[in-house]
């Protein structure tokens, strides 16, 4: 063969390898390593693999991977894990020192895990981690001459048992780019689509709210009207604020914002509309009813004394008002489309196996235990939106502690996004405080969360 032609072919092949290693998702790829190690690692029986020592190999672009075997009571796994750097604390004679050590975690981005049955050494499934969050992965299982594929987010299936027309063992040596091409039209990869800069307005709003949190003073039943004057939410009447009392309790605060949790959300939405309109949102449209629930029996009696749908109405109407200002059209809630009703998951992984999962419930929202996977999806599919969260929980009244009546009596704002490293993050503000998702989920365990979407803006100013 002509040496020049051979050289061109070699360069072309090397280019393909490099492309496979860092694909459109920028995921470390172990394909060429797996091709050379397939026979000795992926087809061997348990007894043979027990005698093998872990190996470290580099792909074409120098990314290191560790190949090893892990064993449980009934299964064993062949793991091909990329190297990451882990910050750790080490105790020495001089005290605690922070050091950076090499780490080869199978569930890190680019991790590849083949799980087999310990008794038969037959493959059970192959799991590939494509995200910086180990809660997101694709999984494949053999089914005769075909392969079944899953797309999993935080324990819920966005796609389950989708047939893939290739033999399972062919996956052992495919690059991630090749797997993506095979499943592009079968699996919901849009849930993993993250682009640089798409969260800019969201991050700007988060920073502005954080900067002003120290100004927020809680006061029940309080918000500001369209002219910036403090009023009672329940009646719309003007209220007097005792600034001397605030200073005694909270210390001296420059330009305090005196609100409750509902007034806090209005203050944020006012920061979106005031730069456009020159005024804040009116109170009266925000308490207009948005649902007609069948109130019978005990619920009918209780609803005479309690506003059971308050935060649901408040959040829906706030979102519709913000949309109206943005679009220069007057939207009522029912025509605005602000409700999040997405149902991206059909089933979930539990201790009892795979079970059906409840999605959106009309005028209730989502179970808080199922909210995080939904926020993963929303961060990818709606990167420029934040969400007003109306919280529906058991009625907080000691006299009715045995009641099964739920009320929308709290609200918060949620900003889901992916950071610059591609890791999922979620910032929640409630009542002038910032919460992690874990804190929020623990605080409202057993509750329902109804989401109304609001477009984030760079032109955002908090009065």
148 and 247 part of one domain: no
The proportion of the chain whose per-residue pLDDT surpasses 70, expressed as a percent, equals 88
360 shares a domain with 274: yes
Nearest to 389 by CA among 314, 300, 455: 314
CB 124 within 8 A of CB 132: no
Q: Looking at residues 389-397, what average pLDDT do you find?
A: 90
Asked whether the CA dihedral 275, 276, 277, 283 is positive or negative, the reply is negative
Looking at 172, 192, 212, which one is the last position of a domain? 192
Buried b (16+ CB within 10 A) or exposed e, 256-284: bbbbbbbbbbbbbbbbbbbeeeeebbebe
Pair 153, 206 in one domain: no
Which residues sit opposite 152 in a β-bridge?
137, 157
Same-domain status, 154 and 259: no
pLDDT band for 395, please (50, 70, 90 cuts). confident
Domain limit, last residue, from 192, 220, 239: 192
Model-level pTM?
0.87
The predicted-structure confidence for 178-193, as pLDDT tens digits, reads as follows 999 999 999 999 998 8
Task: Answer yes or no: do 236 and 318 share one domain.
Answer: yes
| Confidence bin at 312 (pLDDT 50/70/90) | very high
Contact assessment for residue 151 and residue 191, using Cβ atoms and an 8 Å cutoff: yes
Q: Percentage of the chain surpassing pLDDT 90?
A: 72
Is 152 part of any domain? yes
Burial of 67 from C-beta contacts in 10 A (0-12 / 13-18 / 19+): buried
In a domain, 23, yes or no: no
Does residue 6 fall inside a structural domain?
A: no
From residue 133, alpha-carbon distances to 108, 160, 284 in Å are: 7, 20, 43
Give residue 192's pLDDT.
87
Model confidence band, residue 155 (pLDDT cutoffs 50, 70, 90):
confident
pLDDT tens-digit series, residues 399-445: 665 567 899 999 999 999 999 888 999 999 999 999 999 999 999 99
Q: Are 227 and 151 contained in the same domain?
A: no
In 3D space, the residue among 344, 415, 419 whose CA is nearest the CA of residue 374 turns out to be: 344
Instruction: Provide the domain limits for residue 175.
Output: 28-192
| 43 and 121 assigned to the same domain | yes
Same-domain pairing of 85 and 224: no
Domain assignment present for 221: yes
- What are residue 43's phi and psi, to 5 degrees? -110, -5
Residue 158 C-alpha from the chain's centroid: 13
For residue 344, the Cα-to-chain-centroid distance in whole angstroms is: 13
pLDDT of residue 2: 41
Considering the domain architecture, whether residues 223 and 303 belong to the same structural domain is answered as yes
The β-bridge partners of 91 are 96
pLDDT band at 10 (very low <50, low <70, confident <90, very high): very low
Residue 12 lies in a domain: no
Q: In this model, does residue 36 exceed pLDDT 70?
A: yes
- Token pair 């005694």 is found at 248
* Same domain, yes or no: 153 and 221: no
Q: Which residue has the tokens 């470390």?
A: 28
Please say whether the beta carbons of 259 and 239 come within 8 A: no
Three-state SS string over the chain comes to CCHHHHHHHHHHHHHHHHHHHCCCCCCCCCHHHHHHHHHHHHCCCHHHHHCCCCEEEECCCCCEEEEEEEECCCEEEEEEEECEEEEEEEEECCEEEEEEEEECCCCCCCCEEEEEECCCCCEEEEEECCCCCCCEEEEEEEECCEEEEEEEECCEEEEEEEEECCCHHHHHHCCHHHHHHHHCCCCCHHHHCCCCCCCHHHHHHHHHHHHHHHHEEECCCEEECCCCCEEECCCCCECCCCHHHHHHHHCCCCCCEEECHHHHHHHHHHHHHHHHHCCCCCCHHHHCCCCCCCCCHHHHHHCCCCCCCHHHHHHHHHHHHHHHHHHCCCCCHHHHCCECCCCCCCEEEECCEEEECCCCECCCEEEHHHHHHHHHHHHHHCCCEEEEEEEEEECCCHHHCCCCCEEEEEEEEEEEEECCCCCEEEEEEECCEEECHHHHHHHCCCCEEEEEEEECCCCCCCC
pLDDT over 90 at 12, yes or no:
no
Dist. CA 387–CA 456, nearest whole Å: 10
Q: Are residues 175 and 272 in the same domain?
A: no
* Residues 134, 108 contacting (CB under 8 angstroms): yes
For the range 99-102, what are the long-range contacts, defined as Cβ-Cβ under 8 Å and sequence gap of 24 or more? none
Calculate the alpha carbon distances from 297 to 40, 239, 301, 303, 406 in Å.
69, 36, 7, 10, 14
Paired with 425 in beta bridges are 417
Domain count, the chain: 2
Q: What is the pLDDT of residues 334-357, one digit of tens each?
A: 999 999 999 999 766 655 555 556
Look at residue 139 in the predicted model and tell me its pLDDT: 97
To the nearest whole number, what is the mean pLDDT of the chain? 89
Rounded Cα distance between 125 and 118, Å, is 13
Is it the case that residue 71 has pLDDT exceeding 60? yes
Residue 9 is assigned to a structural domain of this protein: no
Q: What is the pLDDT of residues 212-262, one digit of tens each?
A: 999 999 999 999 999 999 999 999 999 998 888 888 878 888 899 999 999
Residue 157 belongs to some domain of the structure: yes
As a whole number, mean pLDDT of residues 191-214 equals: 93
Are 125 and 218 contained in the same domain? no
The per-residue pLDDT for range 111-120, each reduced to its tens digit, is: 999 999 999 9
Q: How confident is the model over 133-150, as a mean pLDDT?
A: 94
Residue 11 has pLDDT above 60, yes or no: no
Query: Is the pLDDT assigned to residue 19 strictly greater than 50?
Result: no
- Backbone angle region of 307, left / alpha / beta, with phi > 0 → left and psi within -120 to 50 → alpha: beta
Residue 80 lies in a domain: yes
Q: φ, ψ for residue 261 (rounded to 5)?
A: -65, -35
Query: Are the C-beta atoms of residues 349 and 152 closer than 8 Å to each other?
Result: yes
Of 148, 168, 192, the one marking the end of a domain is: 192
């Amino acid at each position: 063969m002509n040496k020049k032609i051979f050289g061109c072919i070699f360069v072309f092949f090397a280019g393909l390898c490099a492309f496979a290693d860092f694909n459109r998702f920028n995921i470390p790829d172990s394909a060429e390593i797996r091709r050379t190690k397939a026979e000795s690692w992926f087809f061997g029986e348990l007894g043979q693999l027990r005698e093998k020592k872990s190996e470290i190999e580099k792909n074409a672009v120098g990314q290191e991977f560790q190949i090893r075997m892990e064993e449980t009571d009934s299964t064993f796994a062949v793991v091909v894990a990329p190297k990451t750097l882990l910050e750790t604390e080490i105790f020495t004679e001089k005290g605690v020192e922070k050091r950076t050590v090499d780490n080869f975690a199978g569930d890190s981005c680019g991790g590849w895990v083949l799980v087999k049955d310990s008794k038969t050494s037959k493959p059970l499934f192959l799991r590939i981690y494509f995200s910086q969050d180990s809660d997101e992965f694709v999984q494949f299982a053999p089914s005769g001459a075909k392969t079944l594929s899953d797309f999993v987010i935080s324990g819920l299936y966005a796609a389950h048992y989708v047939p893939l027309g290739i033999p399972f063992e062919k996956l052992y040596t495919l690059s991630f780019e090749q797997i993506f091409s095979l499943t592009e039209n079968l699996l919901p990869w849009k849930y993993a689509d993250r682009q640089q800069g798409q969260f800019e307005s969201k991050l700007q709003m988060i920073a502005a709210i954080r900067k002003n949190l120290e100004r927020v003073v809680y006061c029940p039943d309080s918000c500001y009207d369209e002219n910036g004057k403090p009023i009672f939410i329940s009646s719309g009447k003007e209220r007097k604020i005792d600034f001397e009392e605030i200073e005694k309790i909270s210390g001296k605060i420059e330009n305090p914002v005196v609100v409750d949790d509902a007034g806090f959300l209005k203050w944020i939405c006012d920061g979106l509309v005031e730069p456009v309109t020159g005024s804040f949102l009116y109170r009266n449209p925000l308490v207009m009813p948005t649902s007609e629930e069948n109130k019978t029996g005990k619920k009918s009696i209780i609803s005479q004394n309690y506003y059971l749908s308050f935060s649901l109405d408040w959040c829906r109407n706030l979102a519709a008002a913000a949309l109206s200002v943005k679009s220069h059209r007057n939207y009522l809630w029912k025509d605005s489309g602000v409700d999040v009703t997405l149902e991206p998951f059909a089933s979930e992984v539990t201790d009892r196996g795979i079970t059906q999962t409840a999605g959106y419930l009309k005028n209730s929202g989502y179970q808080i235990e199922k909210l995080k996977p939904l926020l993963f999806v929303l961060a990818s599919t709606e990167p420029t939106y934040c969400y007003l969260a109306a919280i529906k929980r058991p009625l907080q009244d000691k006299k009715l502690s045995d009641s099964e009546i739920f009320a929308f009596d709290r609200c918060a704002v949620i900003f889901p996004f992916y950071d610059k490293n591609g890791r999922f993050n979620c910032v929640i503000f409630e009542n002038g405080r910032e919460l992690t998702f874990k804190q929020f989920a623990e605080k409202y365990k057993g509750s329902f969360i109804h989401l109304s979407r609001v477009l984030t803006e760079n032109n955002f100013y908090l009065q």
